[in-house]
């Protein structure tokens, strides 16, 4: 029996994708930037444009030569750019840096229109403040829930029910909030990142990534965990 296909929107270098692959999905990625190290079939394209094409009944041709249509996918994951929601947004406003678009409302509308099971992943601030009412209605995962020596909080809004593996204790002495040496303007969020910088790829389970890609990634265990619930939803089963 073939694996159900999952469409990975805003895929970057494939940290989320690897988790879904471990959960039993065949993953296909889309990003508007080249991703030469993405480990699965890939399409260089704007994710929103791709979604609109699928909803119009058009196909998408990936790097492995397959042309797939909306009905070929069992589920969709989206990790829209987080810069507009992150704590660094405050720095941009203060110093006049580039403003970043907010995609959550638009991508949610497109995902719901597919009537497929879906996941939207983003940073914690995507739930609050100026992002409402388009902010994520979501639970979060943290590295400490999986025995990792860092926090790396991420929200997951889903079309199905799932449960946290346990609330983080946040008593790590050598842990960092962001996991790969990425600094925030809000220095109160930061701890000693040496442990993470020295072994980020091992902790994230993404040995193919370079440093910049790791700074954008989430640990593979996050989407492997969410992916098991997603697989049950795709198969029409309940936990």
Class of domain 5-234: alpha beta
CB atoms within 10 A of CB 170: 12
In this prediction, residue 79 carries a pLDDT of 95
In this prediction, residue 216 carries a pLDDT of 85
In the chain, where does DSSP find H-type helix?
Answer: 15-22, 47-55, 88-95, 104-114, 194-204, 211-216, 220-234
Q: What 3-state class would DSSP assign to 33? A: coil
Give CA–CA dist 91/8, Å, rounded. Answer: 30
How many Cα atoms sit within 13 Å of 36 on the Cβ side? 1
Most confident of 29-43, 70-84, 166-180, 185-199: 29-43
The beta strand positions in the chain, using DSSP E, are 5-9, 26-31, 42-44, 60-61, 67-68, 75-78, 117-122, 139-141, 154-158
Give CA–CA dist 142/155, Å, rounded. Answer: 9
List, in sequence order, every residue forming a beta bridge with 234; answer none if it has no partner: none
Residue count (the chain): 239
Confidence category of residue 205, pLDDT binned at 50, 70, 90: very high
**Dihedrals φ, ψ of 168, to 5°?**
-65, 145
In 125-208, where does DSSP find H-type helix?
Answer: 194-204
In this prediction, residue 176 carries a pLDDT of 47
User: Is pLDDT at 197 greater than 80 in this prediction?
Assistant: no
In this prediction, residue 138 carries a pLDDT of 84
In this prediction, residue 3 carries a pLDDT of 95
In this prediction, residue 215 carries a pLDDT of 84
User: Is pLDDT at 193 greater than 70 in this prediction?
Assistant: no
Which one is predicted more confidently, 131 or 164?
A: 164
Residue that is written with structure tokens 């507009």 in the block? 84
Lowest mean pLDDT: which of 62-71, 95-104, 165-174? 95-104
Instruction: Name the average pLDDT for the chain.
Output: 82
Q: What 3-state class would DSSP assign to 23? A: coil
In this prediction, residue 167 carries a pLDDT of 73
User: Is pLDDT at 65 greater than 70 in this prediction?
Assistant: yes
User: Is pLDDT at 38 greater than 60 in this prediction?
Assistant: yes
Q: What 3-state class would DSSP assign to 147? A: coil
Angle at 164 between CA 158 and CA 170, to 5 degrees: 125
3-state helix vs strand vs coil in the chain, percent to 5? 35, 15, 50
In this prediction, residue 171 carries a pLDDT of 64
User: Is pLDDT at 213 greater than 60 in this prediction?
Assistant: yes
């Amino acid at each position: 029996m073939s694996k159900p296909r999952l469409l990975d929107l805003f895929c970057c270098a494939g940290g989320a994708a690897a988790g879904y692959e471990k959960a039993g999905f065949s993953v296909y990625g889309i990003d508007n930037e080249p991703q030469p190290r993405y480990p699965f079939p890939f399409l260089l394209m704007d994710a929103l444009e791709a979604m609109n094409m699928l909803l119009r009944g058009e196909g998408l041709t990936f790097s492995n030569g397959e042309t797939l249509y909306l009905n070929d996918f069992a589920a969709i994951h989206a990790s829209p750019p987080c810069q507009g929601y992150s704590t660094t947004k405050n720095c941009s406003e203060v110093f006049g840096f580039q403003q970043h678009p907010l995609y959550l409302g638009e991508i949610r509308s497109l995902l719901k229109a597919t009537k497929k099971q879906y996941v939207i992943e983003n940073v914690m601030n995507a739930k609050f403040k100026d992002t409402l009412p388009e902010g994520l209605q979501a639970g979060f995962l943290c590295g400490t829930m999986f025995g990792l020596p860092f926090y790396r909080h991420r929200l997951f809004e889903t079309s199905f029910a799932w449960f946290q593996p346990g609330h983080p204790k946040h008593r790590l002495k050598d842990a960092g909030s962001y996991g790969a040496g990425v600094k925030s303007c809000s220095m109160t969020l930061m701890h000693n990142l040496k442990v993470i910088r020295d072994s980020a790829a091992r902790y994230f389970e993404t040995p193919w990534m370079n440093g910049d890609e790791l700074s954008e990634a989430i640990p593979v265990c996050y989407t492997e965990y969410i992916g098991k619930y997603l697989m049950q939803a795709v198969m029409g089963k309940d936990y």
